[in-house]
Structure formats: structure tokens, C-alpha cells
């Protein structure tokens, strides 16, 4: 056995990556009529997609089932060994099955074939042997075979599990597009974490309302407006007309420009200094969209108004960051 220091770790890793990348690249030429038939089969099923596999293929099958389920194709994993001992009851005649086995001869899956045929469920297989028992028993067979595993002994499933995983992703994305699956649909399946917050959180959920809104009238003197800016801590204030509608905004940046002009803060009205072209948004847009508007316009706050122009809230950049919108 070579000394640990003599093992060329980086060369081994690079070789593995090259071999697996080549195996994945070879899949593209196999995407054709069979793949389209598999998609049609899975798209038309009234029930769910049951994904199964043994050993390392089982781990890949679990991931494929999870990806399908989160992208609009209801799916779950069934262990083929457990299926022979009661879990076949989880599969109904309305379902379809995707079975993974590189050899196509794994006993636990082959044992299930007569039962699946009796149920009449469509079977899509992914194997490396198109003449295997599993492939021949399938309505549709997808070739995920590789010339050699990345394992130097050509024993440990490496390249073959990678190609099966990629083929599963290809199926999931093709079905997603066929179903017209949207970002909102995806968010419904991913309500937690940053992804859910970005896709589900609305401006109304994070904006400041009521007394938290910095607000002064058009006839307010600048000195008084500065007190409002300081008290509310947002570096800006809204300016409203006598009807309570937005007339403009005044920010820290506007203050610096005003001081450069040597104005009298005790005599000058905010009406003479405010920005009348402030960016506004509706409370009903996504918070992520509000973040994009801020970034595009290089501003730190947005005024939220209703259809009449009345102020309903103020959204500050730090509110978005605190909510996990990035």
C-alpha cells in the first residue's frame, strides 16, 4: 500500500470528475423518442409517481422522488425490499413507477415486476442494460449506462449513479415545464427558509405602517422634518398634501444637498426641497421585487401607496434584509 503522502489526491479527484462529466455528456445523445414517451407516461398518470431502487440506486431514487414532488409531480420513494413485505400496498393502479437499477437484474426489483404488471401500472426503467429483465419488462426504458465507473476498480457505483441522477433531473424539469409549473407553485412546496421567503413574502408583510411611517406636511419647516427623520430612524420622511396623499419624500441625501446650498433650516419649507418623483410600490407585490427596484434605482427605501395615492406604508432596505430577502 502506498504511503498516504504518495497518493495523488488532486489527480484522482480530477480524473473522477472528468469521467463522470463525460458519462453525463454522453446522455444527451440518448434523449429522444423514449424520453418523450417516458414524459408522456408520467404526465398522464392520474395518481402519483413511485420511484424505487436498491442500494446506491435507492439513494438516487429517493432524490429523484423528492425533486419530482417539489416541482409539481407528486411522487414518493418505496424501498423494493419493503415492497415485498407489505409496502406494495402503497402503490395503486392509478400510479406509475420509475425503477432504477444499473444492471437491471437486482432481485428485489425483479421480484416486483409480476405484481406491477398485475396492477397494470406503467413502468419506466433506468438501467445500464437495455436487454435486462427490468428493461424488457418496462413500457419505457431509459439508458443510463456508462462505459466504466469512475471507481478505478470499476466496482463502486459512481458514474452510473451520476447519470441516473441527471436523467431523473431531466425528467423532473421536462415535466415541470409541461405542467406550466410556476415560481408561486414552487414556493408553495418550499415555504421555509430563504427560498420560501423570497418567493412568498409580500411588501405588506414587511413594510412599516401606522405611527412607524415618517410623515410631515408640505408646510412643515425643514428643522421639524429633521426631527421626524431622526425619530423614525429611516433616513427619510414622506411628505403629504392636505388630503393625506403622497406629495414627495425628503432623504438624508436631500439634506446634504440642501446644506451645501446654505439654506436656513428654520425658515425653509420642506415643500421647497422634497423630491416629487419618489419611487412607490404597491403592498401587493413580492418583497423580492421591491428589493430589485431598490437595487436598480440605488435607493434605500420605498413608499407604499394604494390606488388613490394614499400612503399605506414605508419599506426600508434593512426591513428586507432582516426578513431574509437578499
Q: What is the pLDDT of residues 103-137, one digit of tens each?
A: 999 999 999 999 999 999 999 999 999 999 999 99
Q: What is the CA radius of gyration of the chain?
A: 30
Lowest-pLDDT range, 64-78, 169-183, 230-244? 169-183
**Which class does domain 4-181 fall in?**
alpha beta
User: Residue 310: helix, strand or coil by DSSP?
Assistant: strand
Q: Residue 177 has which C-alpha cell?
A: 415545464
312: how many CB neighbours lie within 10 A of its CB? 17
Question: Of 273, 261, 278, whose CA–CA distance to 223 is shortest?
Answer: 273
Q: What is the total residue count of the chain?
A: 326
> Is residue 185 over pLDDT 80?
no
Beta pairing class for 49-53 and 96-100? parallel
As a whole number of angstroms, the distance between CA 315 and CA 286 comes to 12
Q: What is the pLDDT of residue 5?
A: 52
> Is residue 238 over pLDDT 70?
yes
User: What is the DSSP-derived secondary structure letter of residue 274?
Assistant: -
Predicted confidence band at 155 (pLDDT cuts at 50, 70, 90)? low
Question: Of 280, 266, 160, 258, whose CA–CA distance to 222 is shortest?
Answer: 266
Task: Indicate the average pLDDT of the chain.
Answer: 88
pTM over 0.75: no
Can you tell me which residue has the cell 454522453?
A: 26
Can you tell me which residue has the cell 489526491?
A: 9
Q: Between residues 75 and 8, which one has the greater pLDDT?
A: 75
User: What is the DSSP-derived secondary structure letter of residue 191?
Assistant: -
> Is residue 3 over pLDDT 60?
no
Q: What is the pLDDT of residue 192?
A: 54
Lowest-pLDDT range, 129-133, 251-255, 314-318? 251-255
Predicted confidence band at 152 (pLDDT cuts at 50, 70, 90)? confident
Domain boundaries of the chain, sorted by first residue:
4-181, 203-322
What's the CATH code, domain 203-322? 3.10.580.10
Instruction: Please give the distance of CA 9 from its chain centroid, rounded to a whole number.
Output: 34
As a whole number of angstroms, the distance between CA 54 and CA 67 comes to 18
Q: Residue 67 has which C-alpha cell?
A: 425533486
Amino acid at each position: 500500500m502506498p504511503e498516504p503522502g504518495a497518493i495523488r489526491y488532486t489527480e484522482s479527484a480530477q480524473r473522477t470528475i472528468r469521467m463522470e462529466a463525460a458519462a453525463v455528456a454522453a446522455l444527451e445523445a440518448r434523449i429522444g423518442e423514449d424520453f418523450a414517451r417516458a414524459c408522456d407516461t408520467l404526465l398522464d398518470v392520474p395518481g402519483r409517481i413511485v420511484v424505487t431502487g436498491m442500494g446506491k440506486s435507492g439513494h438516487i431514487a429517493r432524490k429523484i422522488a423528492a425533486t419530482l414532488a417539489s416541482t409539481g409531480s407528486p411522487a414518493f420513494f418505496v424501498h423494493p425490499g419493503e415492497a415485498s413485505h407489505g409496502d406494495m400496498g402503497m402503490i395503486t393502479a392509478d400510479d406509475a413507477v420509475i425503477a432504477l437499477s444499473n444492471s437491471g437484474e437486482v432481485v428485489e426489483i425483479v421480484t416486483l415486476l409480476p405484481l406491477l404488471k398485475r396492477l397494470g401500472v406503467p413502468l419506466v426503467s433506468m438501467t445500464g442494460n437495455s436487454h435486462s429483465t427490468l428493461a424488457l419488462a418496462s413500457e419505457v426504458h431509459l439508458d443510463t449506462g456508462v462505459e466504466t465507473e469512475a471507481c478505478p476498480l470499476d466496482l463502486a457505483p459512481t458514474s452510473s449513479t451520476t447519470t441516473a441522477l441527471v436523467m431523473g433531473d431531466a425528467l423532473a424539469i421536462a415535466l415541470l415545464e409541461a405542467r406550466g409549473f410556476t415560481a408561486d407553485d414552487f414556493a408553495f412546496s418550499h415555504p421555509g427558509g430563504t427560498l420560501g421567503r423570497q418567493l412568498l413574502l409580500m411588501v405588506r408583510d414587511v413594510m412599516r405602517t401606522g405611527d412607524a411611517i415618517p410623515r410631515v406636511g408640505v408646510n412643515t419647516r425643514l428643522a421639524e422634518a429633521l426631527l421626524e427623520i431622526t425619530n423614525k430612524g429611516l433616513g427619510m420622511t414622506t411628505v403629504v398634501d392636505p388630503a393625506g396623499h403622497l406629495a414627495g419624500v425628503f432623504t438624508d441625501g436631500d439634506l446634504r444637498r440642501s446644506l451645501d446650498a446654505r439654506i436656513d433650516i428654520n425658515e425653509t419649507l420642506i415643500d421647497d426641497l422634497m423630491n416629487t418623483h419618489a419611487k412607490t410600490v404597491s403592498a401587493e407585490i413580492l418583497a423580492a421585487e421591491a428589493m430589485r427596484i431598490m437595487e436598480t434605482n440605488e435607493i434605500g427605501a420605498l413608499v407604499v401607496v394604494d390606488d388613490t395615492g394614499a400612503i399605506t406604508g414605508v419599506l426600508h432596505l434593512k426591513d428586507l434584509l432582516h426578513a431574509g430577502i437578499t
